[in-house]
Amino acid sequence: MSDPVAFIENNTILKSPSLVPELRLHLADAALPLWEKTEEELAQVGLPPPYWAFAWAGGQALARHLIDRPELVAGKRVLDVASGSGVVALACLWASAAHVAANEIDGFALAAIQLNADANALGRGLELVGRDMLDEPTIDDTGVALWDVVLAGDVCYEKPMAERMTGWLRRHAAAGALVLMGDPGRTYRPTDGLEQLAEYSVPTSRDLEDSDIRRTVVWRVLPLTQR
Ligand SMILES: C[S@@+](CC[C@H](N)C(=O)[O-])C[C@H]1O[C@@H](n2cnc3c(N)ncnc32)[C@H](O)[C@@H]1O
């Protein structure tokens, strides 16, 4: 398998996501052939799908929301689960979060997040967590929530992942964390137990989505007790 850092540098360009001009990320460019390959072709050369090479509509809306309302994360301990390019995690650091853990199961995404942090001089306070956390506890030994804020951008596109993710996010909310999810109407978004906080029109690419603009909502995920 390729060296992730060299691979990312050779197959992306540094550019700003349309809704988040404050950040520059290593993202796919239509001019580079890698992004035309199918998932099967990528699997043959040992590569997972390059989710990290796009700032997804859910992540962009969440990042926009946090940069516009820095008080939600400033000085806080934040977890960005399924971080991808790190667009949400870096928005939190931009908004002066004290500590941000960016969680990913894809090693290429972890490398991309670090490169993107470096490109924006936002490495201070960033921790990379490279394991599946979705069955882990949400409180410490004394019963205190592990995180002040838990964030998830665009995570409801596959059923098993969306179900595990939603259950875990609700447990964080029950523990006392502020839990926010950015979602452009993906199939497996929960239909209840969410409170709408904001709505954005996110410009997207026809290569990725079925429309040029995705209406994308920032939801507060409620604990089971509030449903
Ligand atoms: C559609 S991308 C969203 C990335 C980013 N949040 C955004 O909005 O741009 C979903 C990401 O979830 C990651 N992922 C899938 N299952 C995961 C798990 N169990 N734990 C952490 N990340 C996971 C994938 O590797 C992928 O990068």
Amino acid at 96: S
Q: Taking 80 as the threshold, does the pLDDT of residue 227 lie above it?
A: no
Residues with CB under 6 A from ligand 1: 51-52, 55-56, 58-59, 81-85, 87-88, 103-106, 109, 132, 134, 153-155, 157, 161
> CB atoms < 10 A from the CB of 163, how many?
14
- Segment 59-80, tens digit of pLDDT: 999 999 999 999 999 999 999 9
Ligand 1 atom nearest the C-alpha of 157 is: 1
- Segment 101-112, tens digit of pLDDT: 999 999 999 999
Q: Taking 70 as the threshold, does the pLDDT of residue 99 lie above it?
A: yes
pLDDT at 44: 79
> Residue 225: which pLDDT band, with cuts at 50, 70 and 90?
low
CATH fold of 56-226: Rossmann fold (3.40.50)
Ligand 1 atom nearest the C-alpha of 164 is: 19
Q: Taking 60 as the threshold, does the pLDDT of residue 1 lie above it?
A: no
> CB atoms < 10 A from the CB of 5, how many?
14
Q: How many whole angstroms from 83 Cα to the centroid of ligand 1?
A: 6
pLDDT at 17: 97
Ligand 1 atom nearest the C-alpha of 103 is: 21
> Residue 29: which pLDDT band, with cuts at 50, 70 and 90?
confident
Q: How many whole angstroms from 201 Cα to the centroid of ligand 1?
A: 21
